[in-house]
Amino acid sequence: MKFGIILFPGSNCEHDCYYAASKISGEKAAVIWSGDTQLPADFRDPQGANCLIIPGGFSYGDYLRCGAIARFAPIMNQVTAYAAQGGRVIGICNGFQILVEAGLLPGILHRNRALSFVCRDIYLKVENKNTIFSSQITKDVIKVPIAHGEGNYYCADATLEKLEKNGQIVFRYCDAAGNVSPDSNPNGSRHNIAGICNAQGNVLGLMPHPERCAEAVLGNTDGRLIFESIIASVKENVAV
């Protein structure tokens, strides 16, 4: 399969994502410039063996709101169409912010509760293991680093009810034992939400950085499980 990493002015995690997707996972990867008006030819089949990654960073300097300007980049029309036809898309940190600004995921991301940047390892409770992004995670709790100033997820009551009912909350902040509480919430996100998918299950946004914990030399390989889940979903489709 092939991963496509969308590069915006101000992105700073594209190389980490490229490395995790290709060097660690052993798959192909390509960087796609946000100013392009078309996806590369091998990404134009949304049902193909591909996945688009919108990486973390500070797209367009995070002016206005995080992701608010990146949402209007030429490539986002293609990303939106790709996702609408079932193509796999994952947004990490700033990528999550871009996805909500683009309307590909519901809700919004505010300033952290403490109004300060948070950078540390946290624990995630895997709430839904039946997605293309989590199917290879056998553990109930994984450890993944965060690094953000605006990761405080919020949505309206009706939206929250739909997310809960449809199993769209994939990850929640928790403690090492899997307990979900205000004390284990690093940014004030509603219901400790750390990552959600769309109703169709092919678009995921999460604030933690799986690409930063995908190799043993880093002391943690939990993030690799997310990449392995995506790869497994592609192989299952090919097998069918």
- With residues binned 3-state (H G I as helix, E B as strand, rest as coil), the percentages for the chain, rounded to 5, are 30, 25, 40
Q: Which domains does the chain have, with CATH numbers?
A: 2-239 (3.40.50.880)
- Verify whether residue 174 is a known catalytic residue: no
Which residue, 21, 137, 138, 145, is CA-closest to 88? 21
- Verify whether residue 93 is a known catalytic residue: yes
pLDDT for 6 equals: 98
- Verify whether residue 161 is a known catalytic residue: no
pLDDT surpasses 90 at 149: yes
pLDDT for 240 equals: 32
Distances (CA, A) of 10 to 33, 34, 55: 12, 11, 10
pLDDT tens, 12-29?
999 999 999 999 999 999
Q: What is the pTM of this model?
A: 0.96
pLDDT for 236 equals: 75
pLDDT for 64 equals: 86
Of 66, 93, 155, 213, the active-site residue reads 93
pLDDT tens, 171-190?
999 999 999 999 999 999 99
